[in-house]
Structure 1
Amino acid sequence: MGYRESCALCWAEFWDYETPKVVVVKNRTLGIIYRIIQLLIILYFAVYVFIIQKSYQERENAPESSVITKMKGIAMSNSSLGVKIWDVVEYVHPPEGRDIFSVTVRTITTPLQKLQYCPEDESVPGSRCTSDSDCLAGEMELLGNGVKTGRCVIYHDSIKTCEIYAWCPVENGLSIRDSVLKMVQNFTILIKNSIHFPRFGFTKGNIQKSRDPTYLRNCSFDEGTDLYCPIFPLSFIIEKAGATFDELSQTGGILGIIINWICDLDKAASECNPQYSFRRLDSISQGTTSSLGYNFRHAKYYMENGTEYRTLIKVFGIRIDIIVHGEAGKFDIVPTVINIAAALTSIGVGSFLCDWILLTFMNKNDVYSARKFEEVIKERIMLAVNEHGASEQELKAIQAENCKHC
């Protein structure tokens, strides 16, 4: 049979239909392996996919959320500037009640600053000098406080620094340090949070409607008894975040309050409850000692005898970041059908693996192979046998070799 006939036969066999043949193998070991594989696949889909992952549900994990905060408490400090009363206006920044705000715990104050000439602080890189030639007029250091005048003046004792035009006196170690606001620990934070899952039209908040209008005035958060009283003492947040007030009062810090909503909407709305967790977010939580804590500066300006003055205040604070996550799920026929189909398809993996073991490692694999793969001889093959006088096996061998060249 020539190449043309062989190629025609190969092309014809390309359109053959293959159907599985059921062969029952009486082998207990192979049967046990097959049933164990099936059992494991069924358990995986039944327990993990459908019960734990709830893959029969349509899910939404990006809820719309709003957060409003209010802080309460009064503190007092005593320094060379005198006794000072701190209320919410003084120690909360910004005052709008947003999801990110800071609470003042310590300040460094430089009062009576005005624009004039004074020595640069010695801690500023490039500020020290021995003569006027070391100070370039008009130059500004990146970490400096003003513009150099070109003069080298005495800073203190025998130390000289470049003179600058700036808000003087500059902030340095001689600035007035207010005492730590230890009463801050007792301040309370009210966190009002509401979420909305637009796909399901579901909305809920972390404050329940109560018949008692004074409930929020007298409660404090407790996960077991007062889950819907989102009033947190600052000391409670610090403790749960794994920090201490003594440490935060020196360097400041950033604490995170994470509110997580996991809602199964196939159940009652009362089963959808907020879960709170607390952690420290600034650099110390990452194991580094560089740029520790949290601080910022602001100034208060005023006029006196026609001259503008300001009071510079460096604030060490505890910044609170409120982070809201959420995920909701509800039964839907589409993911249910898809996962059931995936489960039924995966059960076939057991048959594939057992077939491989049967045809590769069993003693009678040739016998099994002959029983499993059977070809219904087509009329075209018998016709070729009759025409060329070759046996069916010889014809198939020639055909296989010729098909390589087609």
Structure 2
Amino acid sequence: MSTCIPLPVSNVFNSKTIKSAVYDFVTDYETPKIVTIRSAKFTLLLRISQVIILLYGVLYLLLYQKGYQKQDSSIVSSVTLKVKGIGYVESLKNQTTIIDGTDYVIPPLENAAVFIMSCYIRTEQKRMTCEESKYIDNAHCTRNEQCVANNYQFLHTNGRWTGRCLIRLNQTVGLCEIEGWCPVEDDLAQRELIEGVLNFTIFLKNFVEFPGFKVIRKNFHDNMSPCLYHDIHDKSCPIFRLSTIIESAETDQAERELMLKFGGVIKIKLNWDCNFDFNVKKCVPVYSFGRLDAKFKAENFSKGFNFRYVDLII
């Protein structure tokens, strides 16, 4: 039978043992055992692996992927657009109507966008009573009972039905009478194309800020000379001819003609990909163009893009 007798604490933590532990900590250290393998096959495999890892880290991660750089994608940007140009419309009466910027630039439906009128249907209207549109089947009538007053069960009425059936002379079928803006609009009427619309120019002003680098850039210069954007000769000019934009966004000539007639939606993309390792003046945008609406040959419902605009004439 044996018993354990604890040693006094003073025997463990005395000045001699503490001094010896500190001396050993300062003067002695251990190293792992090194084994030398004499094999050309394994040595070559090791060196190739080391070189591959080194090249991957330096060439790909560090240089190609710019791993040493700080990236900032939370940029702040603002865009304004200014359109200039003179167009004209020749009427059937051999009269010429000049269209300027206040006529063909319609207030856009969204920010950082502009609506340019390339074709329009003009209807001079007054508040009065007149015939309903002939394209509404339910508006055809032979007696007043078919034109019930305040009849709003039809979705495409152009005004309030008065309850009267208007039948012209020498005809047996007439149209219901409405009260509203007369005469009613006819979307199938002859469109008036604006000549010279492809020569309109758009001045795109873009201010962009990189908060992470405290850098503010813009896509034009204060002393910039007159220019026009060209995808080869002048890629930095922020003034675009409408013909250049349409031809870049749509390569099909037939589709471009339909776009001018029925409308379309085009995007102008500014890609700011800047490397601040170099001079900040080299931080310039790259422009590209694309069509957002569907092609006419692939779309059967609500082709193009258009909206109504009221111009009050006194």
The question of a shared fold, defined as TM-score above 0.5 by the shorter chain, is answered with yes
Taking structure 1 as reference, are residues 136 and 54 closer, same or farther at Cα in structure 2, changes over 3 Å only?
farther
Deviation at 1:175, TM superposition (A): 5.1
1:94 corresponds to which residue? Answer: 107
Deviation at 1:108, TM superposition (A): 0.6
SS across alignment from 1:299: coil
Equivalence map 1:317-396=2 (5 Å): none
Deviation at 1:154, TM superposition (A): 3.6
**The one of 127, 130, 153 aligned to 2:166:** 153
How many residues align structurally? 275
Equivalence map 1:185-334=2 (5 Å): 185-210=198-223, 215-216=225-226, 219-243=227-251, 244=253, 245-284=256-295, 287-303=298-314
* Structure 1 residues 143-200: Cα deviation after superposition (integer angstroms, max 9, x where no partner): 221112233334895544332211111012685642x113011121111212111221
Residue 167 in structure 1 maps to residue 175 in structure 2: no
* Structure 1 residues 343-376: Cα deviation after superposition (integer angstroms, max 9, x where no partner): xxxxxxxxxxxxxxxxxxxxxxxxxxxxxxxxxx
When you count strand as a share of all residues, which structure comes out higher?
A: 1
1:61 corresponds to which residue? Answer: 73
1:109 corresponds to which residue? Answer: 122
Deviation at 1:279, TM superposition (A): 0.6
Taking structure 1 as reference, are residues 287 and 50 closer, same or farther at Cα in structure 2, changes over 3 Å only?
farther
Amino acid at match of 1:274: P
- Write the distance in 1 (CA, Å) between the matches of 2:185 and 2:205: 39
SS across alignment from 1:59: coil
Taking structure 1 as reference, are residues 294 and 33 closer, same or farther at Cα in structure 2, changes over 3 Å only?
farther
Equivalence map 1:67-78=2 (5 Å): 67-78=79-90
- Write the distance in 1 (CA, Å) between the matches of 2:286 and 2:122: 40
* Structure 1 residues 21-52: Cα deviation after superposition (integer angstroms, max 9, x where no partner): 99988898888777766665555444443333
- Write the distance in 2 (CA, Å) between the matches of 1:239 and 1:83: 28
* Structure 1 residues 93-147: Cα deviation after superposition (integer angstroms, max 9, x where no partner): 239xx73111111111111x22222221132364344544433321223222111
RMSD: 3.4
2:10 corresponds to which residue? Answer: none
Taking structure 1 as reference, are residues 209 and 40 closer, same or farther at Cα in structure 2, changes over 3 Å only?
same
Taking structure 1 as reference, are residues 27 and 90 closer, same or farther at Cα in structure 2, changes over 3 Å only?
same
CA contact (8 A) 1:188 1:233 kept: yes
Deviation at 1:239, TM superposition (A): 0.8
- Write the distance in 1 (CA, Å) between the matches of 2:191 and 2:299: 27
User: 5+ unaligned residues in a row in structure 1: which ranges?
Assistant: 1-19, 304-406
SS across alignment from 1:237: helix
SS across alignment from 1:283: coil
CA contact (8 A) 1:91 1:104 kept: yes
* Structure 1 residues 315-344: Cα deviation after superposition (integer angstroms, max 9, x where no partner): xxxxxxxxxxxxxxxxxxxxxxxxxxxxxx
- Write the distance in 2 (CA, Å) between the matches of 1:129 and 1:41: 86
CA contact (8 A) 1:109 1:176 kept: no
* Percent sequence identity over aligned pairs: 36
* Structure 1 residues 229-284: Cα deviation after superposition (integer angstroms, max 9, x where no partner): 21111111111112544222211111111011001112211221210000111132
Taking structure 1 as reference, are residues 22 and 277 closer, same or farther at Cα in structure 2, changes over 3 Å only?
farther
Taking structure 1 as reference, are residues 173 and 292 closer, same or farther at Cα in structure 2, changes over 3 Å only?
closer
Deviation at 1:203, TM superposition (A): 1.0
CA contact (8 A) 1:145 1:166 kept: yes
Deviation at 1:300, TM superposition (A): 2.2
Amino acid at match of 1:259: L
CA contact (8 A) 1:185 1:235 kept: yes
Taking structure 1 as reference, are residues 208 and 164 closer, same or farther at Cα in structure 2, changes over 3 Å only?
same
- Write the distance in 2 (CA, Å) between the matches of 1:173 and 1:224: 41
* Structure 1 residues 287-331: Cα deviation after superposition (integer angstroms, max 9, x where no partner): 43422111111122345xxxxxxxxxxxxxxxxxxxxxxxxxxxx
Taking structure 1 as reference, are residues 294 and 37 closer, same or farther at Cα in structure 2, changes over 3 Å only?
farther
Moved more, 44-53 or 188-197: 44-53
- Write the distance in 1 (CA, Å) between the matches of 2:172 and 2:50: 87
1:313 corresponds to which residue? Answer: none
- Write the distance in 2 (CA, Å) between the matches of 1:159 and 1:32: 99
Deviation at 1:55, TM superposition (A): 2.9
Taking structure 1 as reference, are residues 224 and 246 closer, same or farther at Cα in structure 2, changes over 3 Å only?
closer
Deviation at 1:92, TM superposition (A): 1.0
Moved more, 145-154 or 245-254: 145-154
